[in-house]
Structure 1
Amino acid sequence: MERHLTLRERIVDFVKEAIIKGSLKPGERVPEPELAEWFGISRTPIREAFRELEAHGFITFTPRKGAIVSPITDKDVRDFYAIKGLLEGYAARMACQKLTEGDIKRMEELNEQMTKCAEKNEVKNFFKLDNQFHDVFLKVCGNDKLYNLIHTIVQQFERFRRTSLSLPGRMQSSVKQHYEIIDAFRKKDMALVEKLVKANAEKGGELLAQEILKEKS
């Protein structure tokens, strides 16, 4: 049975979707009074939701405007994806000899579900499945500190990843890259799997960075 979202979670989801879809643009104020009126609530749950949104890189607090949509630059994107690629690539290399056939089949199942999400353009569900896909080898790598570090960084930049996945063709290309990663894991090719996982991150970052530059020009 699917768990009902709390009020805070509903507000967080609402604002995230508005930012990712471009209804709220970088530098624009996130209207606290209007949100309170829309949801028919006091401002306390709104402020709790804002703290979570700030922690995940969606909004920033400024002295005069209050909560605004965090600015996003191509350099920010490239820097994040470079770190993500290096850390996840190393984790994949460490997990390569440890993954069982059951782990690999689980990754295949998740990628099949992602294929269906890509066909229906379901970015939110694709994002959740993508996290689970990467978690399979991250948990097996045997380094808890690395696992926690990657999760902390990835959580802080959720906005980048979801925005990148929403770009035309990105979900489909990610699925294709995942199948190549699965094949490399099955062959126990440590060098190749590290290269492919790193490339998967870099591809998402480059597409988003180019989109940001295009919007500025």
Structure 2
Amino acid sequence: MENLAFTKNYATKQEVVYQALRDAIIRGQLRPGERLLLRDLAMRFDVSPIPVREALRLLHVEGWIEHKPHVGAVVSPLSEASIVETFTLKEGLEGVAARVATERIGPGQLAELEAMWKEMDDILRREQYDLWGDMNERFHRSIASCTGMPLLVEMTERIMLRWQRIRNHFFKEVFVAHLIPSHEEHRAILDAMRHGAAAEAERLARAHNRTALQCYMAYLHGEPMPCARRE
């Protein structure tokens, strides 16, 4: 936890601690199973134990940390079950988003998505994989935004935080291996949206998530990944 970065641009000390710890978990600065000691955190953030305790309570409610007997608060594991859950929810949300966005998208929004894909294509050619990952999240968030459904956008934002943590934890082992197939799948989704094929866009978005999940499961089980990069 030596290099935890945090900002005080939040309303309360509790929010400062909560946001900093959650971001550190997502980025992988705080690893699965790492202990979060109340007194140490209070000293690090220069606050009393009370806002730290409240921040830990909220992180526990949201599933970012868990409490172990005789150990205390620890960062939640990235288990196989949690990865499956994340991708299952992500598949449902992005499938609906692709279908509804296809039905409602305007020419300007479609042009923005096309420009985003071309930018990602250039980034991929330059092998700037981390930057491509950031753009990938932006791409999927943008499709959700095209639905005009605030609750769907909010739920997508929440599941993307879970996905960010998985991506950061398995970046080199799985994420980079899946880049080229994933990029091609984005192209197919966009083509379906451009032709107004809502059902096909949903099918492709769901398949996109299932393929990625298969890669993670194969990696966890020590099996060849079906999404290995194609040169």
Residue of structure 1 in register with 2:7 after alignment: 6
Higher relative contact order (CA 8 A, sep 6+): 1
Residue of structure 2 in register with 1:80 after alignment: 86
Question: Please, which runs of 5 or more residues in structure 2 have no aligned partner?
Answer: 9-15, 224-231
Deviations 1:137-159 (A, max 9, x none): 21222433333333334435542
Deviations 1:49-70 (A, max 9, x none): 6567556644323342223231
Q: Cα offset for 1:6?
A: 0.9
Residue of structure 1 in register with 2:216 after alignment: 208
Q: How many residues align?
A: 205
> Are the counterparts in 1 of residues 27 and 164 from structure 2 also a CA contact under 8 Å?
no
Letter in 2 for 1:6: T
Say which is worse superposed, 183-192 or 55-64, in terms of deviation.
55-64
RMSD value over aligned CA atoms? 3.5
Q: Cα offset for 1:197?
A: 0.8
Instruction: Return closer, same or farther for 1:154/1:16 CA change in 2, 3 Å cut-off.
Output: closer
Q: Cα offset for 1:81?
A: 1.2
| Residue aligned with 1:110, SS | helix
**Matched residues in 1 for 2:58 and 2:64: separation?**
9
Q: TM-score, normalised by structure 1?
A: 0.72
Report % sequence identity: 25
**Matched residues in 2 for 1:6 and 1:159: separation?**
20
Instruction: Return closer, same or farther for 1:27/1:67 CA change in 2, 3 Å cut-off.
Output: same
Q: Cα offset for 1:104?
A: 2.0
> Are the counterparts in 2 of residues 75 and 209 from structure 1 also a CA contact under 8 Å?
no
Q: How does 1:111-126 map to 2 (within 5 A)?
A: 111-115=117-121, 116=123, 119-122=127-130, 125-126=131-132
Structure label with greater radius of gyration: 2
Q: Cα offset for 1:182?
A: 1.2
